[in-house]
C-alpha cells in the first residue's frame, strides 16, 4: 500500500500553461534570468533513495505526502531508523499505523507549509488540531506528535492534555536568525495577524498554507490547474531571490503572528519553561476572564 500522490499530478510540460505564463512574467519583472526547466513530477520513492537512507541510518525518517509501503518501512526500521509520517485525517493516521510507522504526526489545519494530505481529502474537510488530535490519539496505538498552530507553552501544554506525546513546531521558528528565509519574509511574519494565511494548491502545485500576498493572488486567479508539484514550486521558490515580500511564497501557519525574534536555542528554552509552568499551574484561565467561581455580573 502506498499513497504518495495528491490527485494533482501530470506531465509538467503539458499542464499549467496559465501558471507558467504568470510565473514567467514574475521572473522577467524581477530580472531573474531564464526560468529553470521544469522537473518531472514526483512519484513513489526510488529504490536508490531507500538504499541511501538505509545505509546512512539517520535517527529519523519523516514522510510528509504519504507513507511508503510496509516493506519499505520495515527496511528502514530494520536499519535502526525511527519512521514518522504526517496525517491530516483519522483515516490517514490509521494508514500510517498500518504501514508500520513508529510515530504519527497529527497535522492540524492551522499548520504552515504543505498539507501532508495523501487521501485526497479537501482542506475544507480537514480538522483543526483541537479536533483532530484527540480523535487520532483515540484511533491509533502509536505515539502521536501534535503539529499546527503551536507557538507557545500554552499550546504545547494543551497538546499534551489532548494526548500528544510530543509537538512539532514550524512557523514559530520563522523569526529565528537560524531560519533560512529572506529578511523580507521574516518581516512579513512579524506583522502577520490571525487572518493573514490561506491554504491553496495554486502556488506550489500542492495544498499549502502561506501568508497571502500579491503573488498568492496572482496565482490564485490563474485559470486552470497549476503545474504539478514540485515543478510549480521549482519555479515559484527562486522568486524569493529578488527579496520582494510581495513576490515570494510565504509559507506560514495561523500562529505565525506568535513567532518571537529569538535565537532558536533561546526559543526552545522559553517554550520548555512556559510549558512546565503552564502544566504546573493547571487551569489556564486568564485574569479577567469568566471563571466558574466568579460568574459574570
Ligand atoms: C516554512 C515551512 C516549511 C516547512 N517545510 C516542511 C518540510 O520540508 N517537510 C515537512 O515534513 N514539513 C514541513 N513543514 C510543516 C511542518 O512540518 C509542520 O506541519 C508545521 O510547521 C506545523 O505547524 P506550524 O507551522 O503552525 O507550527 C514546513 C512548515 C513551514 C512553516
88 Cβ inside 6 Å of ligand 1: no
Helices in 149-226 by DSSP H: which ranges?
A: 153-161, 183-190, 214-220
Helix (H, G, I), strand (E, B) or coil at 178: coil
Residue 168 near residue 146, CB atoms below 8 Å:
yes
> Which residue's alpha carbon is nearest to atom 6 within ligand 1?
113
Backbone angles phi, psi at 168, to 5 degrees: -120, 125
23-27, 43-47, 64-68, 246-250: least confidently modelled range: 43-47
What spacing in Å lies between the alpha carbon of 113 and ligand 1's midpoint? Answer: 5
All three cell numbers of 152, joined, read: 507557545
Q: Match domain 44-172+261-278 to its CATH number in 3.40.720.10, 3.20.20.70, 3.40.50.720, 3.40.50.300.
A: 3.20.20.70
Residues 6+ apart with CB under 8 A from 220: 200, 202, 203
DSSP tag of 98: H
In this predicted structure, what is the pLDDT of residue 32? 82
Q: Which of 4, 66, 108, 111 to mutate to test the pocket of ligand 1 (most atoms within 8 A of CB)?
A: 111
113 Cβ inside 6 Å of ligand 1: yes
Q: What average pLDDT does the structure give for the chain? A: 90
CA dihedral 259, 262, 267, 271 (to 10 degrees): -50
Exposed, middle or buried: residue 295 (CB in 10 Å: 0-12, 13-18, 19+)? Answer: exposed
Question: Using one digit for the tens of pLDDT, what is the confidence trace for 177-191?
Answer: 999 999 999 999 999
pTM: 0.91
Beta strand pairing call for 144-147 and 208-211: unpaired
204 Cβ inside 6 Å of ligand 1: no
Q: Which atom of ligand 1 is nearest to the CA of 149?
A: 26
Asked if residue 246 has pLDDT above 80, the reply is: yes
Beta strand pairing call for 113-114 and 208-211: antiparallel
**Angle value at C-alpha 24, between 23 and 25, nearest 5 degrees:** 90
DSSP H or E stretch at residue 86: strand 82-87
Helix (H, G, I), strand (E, B) or coil at 55: helix
Residue found under cell 499549502: 208
Asked if residue 18 has pLDDT above 80, the reply is: yes
In this predicted structure, what is the pLDDT of residue 290? 55
Asked if residue 2 has pLDDT above 60, the reply is: no
Q: Where in the chain is the domain with CATH 3.20.20.70?
A: 44-172+261-278
Backbone angles phi, psi at 10, to 5 degrees: 150, 180
Amino acid at each position: 500500500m502506498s499513497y504518495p500522490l495528491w490527485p494533482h499530478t501530470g506531465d509538467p510540460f503539458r499542464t499549467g500553461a496559465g501558471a507558467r505564463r504568470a510565473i514567467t512574467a514574475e521572473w522577467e519583472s524581477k530580472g531573474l534570468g531564464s526560468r529553470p526547466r521544469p522537473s518531472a513530477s514526483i512519484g513513489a520513492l526510488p529504490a536508490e533513495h531507500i538504499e541511501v537512507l538505509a545505509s546512512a541510518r539517520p535517527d529519523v525518517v519523516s514522510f510528509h505526502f504519504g507513507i511508503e509501503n510496509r516493506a519499505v518501512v520495515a527496511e528502514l526500521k530494520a536499519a535502526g531508523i525511527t519512521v514518522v509520517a504526517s496525517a491530516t485525517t483519522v483515516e490517514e493516521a490509521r494508514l500510517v499505523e498500518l504501514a508500520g510507522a513508529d510515530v504519527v504526526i497529527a497535522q492540524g489545519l492551522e499548520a504552515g507549509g504543505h498539507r501532508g494530505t495523501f487521501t485526497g481529502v479537501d482542506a475544507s474537510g480537514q480538522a483543526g488540531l483541537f479536533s483532530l488530535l484527540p480523535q487520532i490519539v483515540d484511533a491509533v496505538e502509536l505515539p502521536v506528535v501534535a503539529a499546527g498552530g503551536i507557538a507557545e507553552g500554552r499550546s504545547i501544554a494543551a497538546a499534551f492534555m489532548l494526548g500528544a506525546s510530543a509537538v512539532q513546531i514550524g512557523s514559530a521558528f520563522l523569526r529565528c536568525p537560524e531560519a533560512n528565509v529572506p529578511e523580507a519574509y521574516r518581516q512579513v511574519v512579524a506583522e502577520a495577524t490571525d487572518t493573514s494565511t490561506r491554504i491553496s494548491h495554486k502556488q506550489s502545485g500542492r495544498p499549502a498554507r502561506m501568508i497571502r500576498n500579491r503573488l498568492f493572488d496572482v496565482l490564485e486567479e490563474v485559470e486552470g490547474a497549476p503545474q504539478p508539484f514540485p515543478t510549480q514550486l521549482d519555479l515559484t521558490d527562486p522568486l524569493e531571490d529578488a527579496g520582494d515580500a510581495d513576490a515570494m511564497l510565504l509559507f506560514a501557519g495561523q500562529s505565525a503572528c506568535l513567532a518571537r525574534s529569538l535565537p532558536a536555542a533561546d526559543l526552545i528554552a522559553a517554550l520548555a519553561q512556559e510549558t512546565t509552568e503552564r502544566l504546573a499551574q493547571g487551569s489556564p484561565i486568564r485574569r479577567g476572564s469568566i471563571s466558574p467561581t466568579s460568574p459574570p455580573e
